[in-house]
Amino acid sequence: MNKQYVALASILIGVILASLVIGTINVFEGHFNIVYSIRLPRILFAVLGGAVLSICGAVFQILLNNRMADSFTLGMANGAVIGAAIAIYISASFYFIPLFGVVAGLISLFLVLFIAKQIDSMLRPETLVITGVLFSTLLSGVLYIIIMLDPTKTKSIVQFMFGSFSGSRYEYITIVFICFIISLIVLFKSSRDLDLLTLGELRAFSLGVEVSKLRLKLLIVMAIPSLVLLSFTGIIGFIGIIVPQMIQYIRPRKAKELFILSGFYGAILLGIVDTIARTILSPIQLPTGVLLSIFSVPLILFLMYKRFLQKTI
């Protein structure tokens, strides 16, 4: 297993280096400042974002027993973007942008859970997903209205509707990384309880797991780094769904191993997608979130189709 992690780490480093040199004639002369000031923070933020969103998705899928759960389908992503948009609209300090994003994202999450609970007291996965998607659509409309109120002032948040790592800064990376590390410490301490939870809520409870407290704690703890990230990048959807599902489709894993692999594969995938988005139509840069959606939706449909075949056989 350690060899697998080393191999994945090597691939990740290769993706970072390749992204830095693609389209650059001479890194060590005229283009060094471009590489250091623009490309390096962008690719580092992209791979960090891939790890954050993929692990967050894996945790949410275990906690909610729902393979379609992540920050995007539960309304958190759109909530975070709304919060960041409001912070920009009122000309709040740079450091208040992630704070607004986290608060708005958590409010969105709890509203989705509350509404779904009122509709379906059993809180079935399909009810939760449909409620989250509908609430996300509602928030997208609200975001559009905020932008239209003053297009000149809110021009910088238009990209939030599509998701992009352009304009990444080392300050963004530092803030998200600190939140991510703190969340991982709490998460890995709870990995055994999450393994028990995969056996079913009743069995986990009989083995000493306080399911409700565990779910609430980890939902909040793992939401924070992803919400801070999305406050800076805008909506980056689906990666938290497809990466854990791909890993589990190949071979079911225990929680701790699933989280580590999700982090590596998510970082590699989003690093590659962001590099393609930056270079495929150069000098035009495609939003990373748009290209990721184009890549992800067919893959999600494929995984759903394969699961359907397994159930019918």
Q: What is the pLDDT of residue 266?
A: 95
Across all residues in the chain, what is the average pLDDT? 85
For the cut 70, the answer to whether the pLDDT of residue 154 exceeds it is: no
Residue 289 has pLDDT above 60, yes or no: yes
Q: Please state the three-class secondary structure of the chain as a single string.
A: CHHHHHHHHHHHHHHHHHHHHCCCCCCCCCCHHHHHHHHHHHHHHHHHHHHHHHHHHHHHHHHCCCCCCCCCCCCHHHHHHHHHHHHHHCCCCCCHHHHHHHHHHHHHHHHHHHHHHHHCCCCCHHHHHHHHHHHHHHHHHHHHHHHHHCCCCCHHHHHHHCCCCCCCCHHHHHHHHHHHHHHHHHHHHCHHHHHHHCCCHHHHHHCCCCHHHHHHHHHHHHHHHHHHHHHHHCCCCCHHHHHHHHHHHHCCCCHHHHHHHHHHHHHHHHHHHHHHHHHCECCECCCHHHHHHHHHHHHHHHHHHHHHHHHHC
Q: What is the mean pLDDT of residues 230-239?
A: 86
Mean pLDDT of 246-260: 89
Rounded mean pLDDT, 167-176: 92
Question: pLDDT (tens digit, 9 = 90+) per residue, 94-146?
Answer: 778 888 888 999 899 889 888 988 888 776 767 877 888 889 889 888 888 87
Q: What is the structure's pLDDT at 305? A: 76
Residues 190-227 have pLDDT tens digits of: 999 999 988 888 888 888 888 888 888 898 899 899 99
Task: Between 284 and 60, name the one with better pLDDT.
Answer: 60
Tens-place pLDDT, residues 19-68: 888 766 554 555 677 778 888 999 999 999 999 999 999 999 898 887 77
pTM of the model: 0.88
264: pLDDT confidence band, cut at 50, 70 and 90? Answer: very high
